[in-house]
Chains A and B, each alone.
Chain A
Amino acid sequence: MKSGLSKRLEGLRSIGLGQALSWTLPIWAVLIAFLVGSVIIAGAGANPIQAYAALFRGAVGNGGLVATTLVKSIPLMLAGLSVVLAYRASVFNIGGEGQIYMGALFAVWGGTLLHLPAGVHLPIVLALGMVGGFLWSAIPGYLKAARGFNEVIVTIFMNYIAVAIVSYLVHGPMRESGWNYQSRAVDESARLPIILPGTSLHLGLVVALAAAVLAHILLFHTTLGYRLRMVGFNAEAARYAGVKVTLITVLAMALSGALAGLAGAVEIAGVQFRLLEGFSPGWGFDAIAVALVGQLHPAGVLLAALFFGALRTGANSMQTAVGLPMVVVQVIQGLTVLFMMIGAAVQHYGLWRPARREK
């Protein structure tokens, strides 16, 4: 008879931890999600073929749109990587949204209060964003590891709190006088330069790619990453092997938060330049679908983020072309997550057959 904890982890493995899932699974999940989505679109009174055609054209129809898709993918890449780091340690970080807000807040502080020479200012601003996310997510990490809280619930509540803090600040202390509810803009020296002239594509793309490489090295080529995955695979075994499970859990959550914070900082330094209420359209939640479709792997996350970035960009045109609201994206995302989970479970347990025997 296994103990409760290791049995619980048995369940966690069914999200794709500690086993090789078929690489075609995400493709099937997305395809079926689009298929089911088409039924829903038809039910809403629109033509699914026209809708998807508009979606496709709106995402990659011309060079400018491709650049927009890339720009929209950047926060999804970083937030997706954030989710991967946590999930690899069996920590469900649903707090990406709040951590993005905290990262953006710290970045705006650094970009407006510090006045540093170009070349120094930007890295500091991005680092501050990571600090913001790190600190904010260390709280739920600690509550889970040391006090046994359900991290899903805690991170969700902390999202609401972070959004409220930012909302208060841009309405009050940080509000730029005479303007709408927004902060002052960050210094020129704190901004990410455009890397493709004539478009909005900024250096954040390179930051995201570098983060993916670093996340890969961290996860698969360092002791910390090994311990992190060990905790994710079987916390009890890790404890026997001398791994400080509590510390690793807090660290996994905090590092995950740092990446989400970086997503917020990059969005500030590359696109928004100032803090606005509700500046994230829900990247923290999109990131969950991105991470799962990316098979919890940094390279996979990059591809999945491109896909969901395209979805977000294309949804704009879909809205104007066939009158479907943007939230169709959420329908597709939610369905994708569900079908990924079903697919992973079927691969793990088999279809309609009893689960593998316990030893």
Chain B
Amino acid sequence: MLETLQQLLWSGDLIYATLRLTTPLLFAALGGLMCERAGVLNIGLEGMMLGGALTAYVVALRMGNPWLGILAALFVGAITGLLFAVVVVTFRANQIVSAVGMNILMLGLTGVALRAAVGLSIGQSPAPTIPIWEIPGLAGLPLIGPVLFAHLPFVYLVFVLAGAMAFIFYRTTWGLAIRAVGENPRAAETVGIDVIRVRYATVVWSGIFAAVGGAILSIGYLNTFQEGLTAGRGFIAFSAIIFGRYTPLGTLLASLLFGFTDALQLRIQAFGVQIPYQFLVVLPYIVTLLALFVAGRSKGPAASGLPYAPGEE
């Protein structure tokens, strides 16, 4: 028993899978973090991920090039972000319910588009995938080389981006503007910050980030797309932001925890431990709930979720 547990936990495979599974989550979470710091709650991350996943798959399949798939996903992510921004920033519609509507819409749209693009053979044709990029010199290291330095390029990129985001948030005027808009938009406006523009920009970026996260799932890992492929990862990403207390580092650590849980449940399944798979599959959700419970109240930006009209007293 103890030996099994040891085999289960002390393995490079588990760390490898953790990094792998954290990456799409963290992409979406970083995007969500950006717009949440600017005061826009984005529960639509799930739908945005789904849109990116489908776009990347269809374009990669049709064009025979995974990088074109990523490019197309970036574009579609920006469009979805823009549309969401129009609804919640310009029209000031309720952010939570609009995002729920957005998720339903994206579930439907991706289903229709998949059928239109690939026909009835849903998800059967494998798309060309992003190749693994072994970091020269480092990948050859014993033990840690294959675990840490033989991943998709996006795995390295997302950790760099998390660091970059911390830098942007706390060391640049742009980051200051984002945080000011999220905490007190009125005050931000009086010092000359264009609140609407900052919110638009961050929501569009969140769409792009989430779409990349989705694209990694479809043409990075699975080589295919099926309806509802993201299976709640966008919501887990949203929770990672709360659990990470609205900071880039916290969000990174929270995403790692959830990525680890996912890796662990897959590994337990592969080990053939006598636990029904249905309970293993929901392990990430349960851990997320427990994490939120343990974390207690996590205070978001003061103006989070509130619409803003410029030029008002």
Contacts from A to B (Cβ < 8 Å): 4, 7-8, 10-12, 14-15, 40-41, 43-45, 92, 94, 143, 147-150, 152-154, 156-157, 160-161, 164-165, 167-168, 171-172, 285, 288-289, 292, 323-325, 327-338, 340-342, 344-346, 349, 353-355, 357-358
- Given A15-B97, A333-B104, A346-B112 contact (CB < 8 Å): no
- Per-residue CB proximity of B197-239 to A under 8 Å, as 1/0? 0000000000000000000000000000001000110010011
Given A11-B307, A288-B100, A334-B105, verify A327-B93 contact (CB < 8 Å): no
Choose among B43, B97, B105, B311 the residue that contacts A354 (Cβ–Cβ < 8 A): B311
Given A337-B98, A338-B93, 10 other A-B contacts at CB below 8 A? A157-B288, A165-B278, A288-B100, A328-B108, A330-B105, A341-B97, A345-B94, A349-B92, A353-B309, A354-B312
Partner of A333, one of B96, B108, B115, B309: B108
With beta carbons under 8 angstroms apart, the residue of A45, A152, A172 that contacts B276 is A172
Contact A330 B91 (CB under 8 A): no
**Complex interface: chain B residues within 8 A of A332 (CB):** 108
Contact B98 A8 (CB under 8 A): no
- Chain A residue at minimum C-beta to C-beta distance from B308: A355
Dominant secondary structure of chain A at its interface with chain B? helix
B contact set with A: CB distance below 8 Å = 43, 87, 91-98, 100-109, 111-113, 115-116, 227, 231-232, 235, 238-239, 242, 276, 278-279, 281-282, 285-286, 288-289, 292-293, 296-297, 302, 305-307, 309-313
Closest 7 CB pairs of A and B: A334-B105, A330-B108, A337-B101, A327-B111, A331-B108, A334-B104, A341-B93
Question: What are the residues of chain B within 8 A of A325 when measuring CB–CB?
Answer: 111-112, 115
Residues of B within 8 A of A12 (CB): 94
Chain A residues with CB below 8 A from B98, complex form: 337-338, 341-342
Closest-CB distance, A289 to chain B (whole angstroms): 7
Partner of A153, one of B43, B93, B279, B286: B43
Q: Which residue of A lies closest to B101 (CB)?
A: A337
| B101 adjacent to A338 (CB under 8 Å) | yes
Query: Is A164 touching B91 in the complex (CB atoms < 8 A)?
Result: no
Q: Closest CB-CB distance, B248 to chain A, in whole Å?
A: 20
Instruction: Pick from B97, B112, B279: contact of A92, CB below 8 A.
Output: B97
| B238 / chain A contacts, CB cutoff of 8 Å | 153
**A8 is contacted by which of B112, B279, B306 (Cβ under 8 Å)?**
B306
Residue of B nearest to A325 (CB): B115
